[in-house]
Structure 1
Amino acid sequence: MQKFLSGWSFMRLLRLTLGIAIIVQGAMVKDWLFIALGALFSLMPIFNIGCCGASSCNTNYQNNNAKTVDEISFEEIKSEQK
């Protein structure tokens, strides 16, 4: 249940809203294909899956706050001018 309630972004809410709008529009014109398509588009943001399949394209929500500074060494190369 925590997975469904966490990680909601603007795009996820927008996809859910558009899916519900497609369901409503399909019910108004009594077209079952639109209702099924709207259900598909509504379930995708609810379960947080995309077109890639069962969460295979999800990003990791863990923040990496470890700030590491790598020391960079430079070597000057001089060329001979003729």
Structure 2
Amino acid sequence: MFQKIIHNWSFIRFIRLILGIFIIIQSVQTQNYWMILPGILFSAMALFNTGCCGSSCSVPLKNKKND
């Protein structure tokens, strides 16, 4: 599980993490606490490299073929 968090970071994964943290910070600043849940969702999706459907709709990694 630790390897999944550390490896294969992409641009979209960084964007999701930044968006999740931004949503959490903004919801605390505006005292709109129910919006913390979507912020946690976006942050968790980025950390665990999953999509909204879980890992079933993720793009498979490229495999090297021996010719």
The TM-score bracket by the shorter chain reads 0.7 to 0.9
TM normalised by structure 2 equals 0.85
The 5 A counterparts of 1:39-58 are 39-53=40-54, 55-58=55-58
- For residues 6 and 20 of structure 1, the distance between their equivalents in structure 2, rounded to whole angstroms, comes to 20
- Give the % identical residues: 45
Q: Which runs of 5+ in 1 are unaligned?
A: 68-82
When Rg is computed on C-alpha atoms for both structures, the one with the higher figure is 1
Q: Which of structure 1's runs of 4+ aligned residues deviate more than 4 A? A: none
Q: How much is the aligned-residue C-alpha RMSD, in angstroms? A: 1.4
Larger relative contact order (C-alpha < 8 A, sep ≥ 6)? 2
User: Shift of the alpha carbon at 1:63?
Assistant: 2.5
Tell me the residue number matched to 2:33: 32
Higher helix residue share = 2
User: Shift of the alpha carbon at 1:60?
Assistant: 2.4
TM normalised by structure 1 equals 0.71
Q: Which runs of 5+ in 2 are unaligned?
A: none
User: Shift of the alpha carbon at 1:62?
Assistant: 4.2
User: Shift of the alpha carbon at 1:25?
Assistant: 0.2
